[in-house]
Chain A
Amino acid sequence: MNKTPKWVDIALIPAINLVLALIVSGLVVLYIGENPLEAMAIMVNGAVGSSYGWGYTLYYATNFIFTGLAVAVAFQAKLFNIGGEGQAAIGGLGVALVCIALPWPHWLIALPVAVIGSALFGAAWAAIPAYLQAKRGSHIVITTIMFNFIASALLVYLLVNVLKEPGSMAPETGRFPEGARLPSAHDMAGWVGLSFSRSAPLNISFFLAIAACVAVWALIWRTRLGYEIRALGHSEPAAVYAGISPVKTVMWAMLISGGLAGMMGVNAVMGEAERLVIDSVQGAGFVGIAVALMGRSHPAGVFLAGLLFGMLYQGGGELEFEKPAISREMILVIQALVILFTGALDNMVRNPVETFFNARARRKPKPQPTTAAE
């Protein structure tokens, strides 16, 4: 019987996994002849040492929270949505189409429409893999991988042949109209009389990400659909026995997942670039997998893991700047090791830790026997 305390599962084991990943990353840094502790200090300072650093850290975190939530919602239904990259790219397309369709008078009007556009486009891109999984049993991992590549080809085609600004060489849309530009952190800090770095890309979408975390929590733990998603994730036969339709639940879980991934476009396309460029996602869809694994598929965990990865991405950029011997791809190494240790090799840490706590629980005298049988 499992007597492991809850804090071990949600805090201790992820922490040990993270430390292992950082130790191995440190060994890589040591191998290429640099000091890992110094590298770590540069990364932390670069990520949170200035309002400029925070502006980038939180901007990246916003992307990762959306894609992390996307993976987490699908994980709750035991579906592995590896297609966040494609769904976010198509979501970005939705945002761009909304922004260039009308001469928006004010961002307050443009933002809700762009959010809806991004979510609908992202959900639509998840819909076919979801349908094939639900109705025809095609493995969702493979179909979503395939859809990532199809999305990237589609976007290149659209940007080169359809959406490109006439007369421009670059395969990107023209700049969005003034009324479709989101307030940056610099603008928002100005409203309350504070100052914030002007050049950082952090914008109002960060609050949208926080709202999405709350909404996902409410959805998963406070609604009927969320209950059905979790029930399906725990045991499909039990869910079916309880009258839950697997087809409907898989469809909803994946549509919500795709919609969340698509909403990343609001931050990256509307908030930062203010135009649609090729590869607006830049791997954030895959980072979402690491974020969801670290965050144990819980919105609060996803938020914290998103922040951590935001720091990693911003700090990694600064690290390359300060130490040219360590290239930016070091971020990918750390990310890979986090996924490996928290995801794939989880049992390597979990088994000994649980054995330890179970043994300790057995040694302790039992609490007063209850009158009713358990």
Chain B
Amino acid sequence: MDLTTILQILDSTLRLATPLLFAALAGLFSERSGIIDIGLEGKMLAAAFFSASVAAFTGSVWMGLAGGIAASVVLSLIHGLASITFQGNQLISGVAINFLASGTTVVIGEAWFGLGGRTPQLEGSGRFQEMTLPFAETLSAVPIVGPFYATVLSGHSVLVYVGLVTVALTWWVLFRTRFGLRLRAVGENPESVDTAGVSVAKMRFAAVMIAGVLCGIAGAYLATGLAAGFVKEMSAGRGFIALAALIFAKWRPVPVLFACLLFGLLEAIGNRFQNIDLLGVNVPTQFMQALPYILTVVILAGFVGKAIPPRAGGQPYVKER
């Protein structure tokens, strides 16, 4: 493997990690507030479809992004309604949202475009364009750092950089603001927050809405950044990989970034090589595909540092009987 190949793999790692990153940060906000979200997949899929559709109708990728976020937020509202207002089962609500997204994207897509569940191919301003970071050309002559900067870091769509900034922002919001403290508190001990006079339901709704926005960006990036349009089931389990990354990172923002990069790297390697020879043992691609899930189970099992979820996760908060 030469340097060019390695750089190319790292380049696509960053690309592939971005939708995971947005979705995992979405899950982070939601789960830190005590609302388990297994509907990340569905929200991403719905956002991918609506962003591609709106971009196809208007020719503007930014309008598409807004459409995707709107779709994802609507699903978040349903999740909030079911799990906060009506104190229903959050897992079941998540399952329903995933099906709702797989069904409606195809049913409505077929009615709007008649292309068997696809949206029309997006071109020009309908997609996020790659942007070259400043000095990429000049610096590329510098050994190692230059090509790394020019190939790996530069040349992505703006959402990739937004994703990296969002990690820092998430950390700041969660650990350095009053809102973040309260948000973490409703996920650990909602009674205490309630006693302090803060509405548990409002805090949780806020967290779920933020999750909706972030999932919307994740889906929009899938359809208008990574690909050039929506295809049926295009999220392809990424919402669950994001969930895996979230657990792998033990619900902390910066480790989430590294977990997503790791899972992105696995996908990039799997895309590039059909079979990998590792110390004379042939590793099949299917193993690479399953690796994020296997790693998550190992982490959950607690053999390599225990993953302890937010304490009040999954339980509806009932003020009094």
A residues whose Cβ falls under 8 Å from a Cβ of B: 28, 31-33, 80, 82, 128, 132, 136-139, 141-143, 145-147, 149-150, 153-154, 156-157, 160-161, 286, 289, 293, 325-327, 329-337, 339-340, 343-348, 351
Give Cα A345 to B105, complex, Å: 22
Residue from A132, A146, A149, A330 having most chain B Cβ neighbours under 10 A = A146
Contacts A141-B38, A142-B247, A145-B240 given: A343-B88 contact, CB under 8 Å?
yes
Given contacts A32-B108, A82-B38, A327-B107, 16 further A-B contacts (CB under 8 A): A80-B92, A82-B95, A136-B301, A138-B297, A138-B302, A139-B309, A142-B247, A145-B240, A146-B240, A149-B237, A327-B106, A333-B100, A340-B82, A345-B88, A346-B86, A347-B86
B258 at the binding interface (Cβ < 8 Å): no
Instruction: Say yes or no: B284 contacts A286, CB within 8 Å.
Output: no
Count of residues in B whose CB is under 8 Å from the partner chain: 49
Give Cα A344 to B97, complex, Å: 10
Instruction: Say yes or no: B286 contacts A82, CB within 8 Å.
Output: no
- Shortest C-beta distance, B304 to chain A (Å), equals 12
25 residue pairs bridging A and B, Cβ less than 8 Å apart: A32-B107, A80-B92, A136-B301, A141-B36, A142-B300, A146-B244, A146-B297, A149-B293, A150-B290, A153-B286, A153-B290, A154-B290, A160-B286, A286-B99, A289-B92, A325-B110, A327-B117, A331-B103, A332-B102, A333-B103, A336-B99, A337-B96, A339-B92, A343-B95, A344-B89
Which residues of chain B come closer than 8 Å to A138, judged between CB atoms?
Answer: 297, 300-302, 307
A-B contact count, CB below 8 Å? 154
Chain A contact residues: helix, strand, loop or mixed = helix
Which residues of chain B come closer than 8 Å to A351, judged between CB atoms?
Answer: 86
B157 at the binding interface (Cβ < 8 Å): no
Instruction: Say yes or no: A344 contacts B107, CB within 8 Å.
Output: no
Contacts A138-B301, A142-B300, A336-B97 given: A329-B111 contact, CB under 8 Å?
no
B41 to A, closest residue via Cβ: A145
B139 at the binding interface (Cβ < 8 Å): no
The residue that B240 contacts in the complex, of A33, A149, A160, A336, with Cβ under 8 A, is A149
- Shortest C-beta distance, B256 to chain A (Å), equals 16
Instruction: Say yes or no: A143 contacts B106, CB within 8 Å.
Output: no
Which residues of chain A come closer than 8 Å to B136, judged between CB atoms?
Answer: none
Which residues of chain B come closer than 8 Å to A142, judged between CB atoms?
Answer: 243, 247, 296, 300
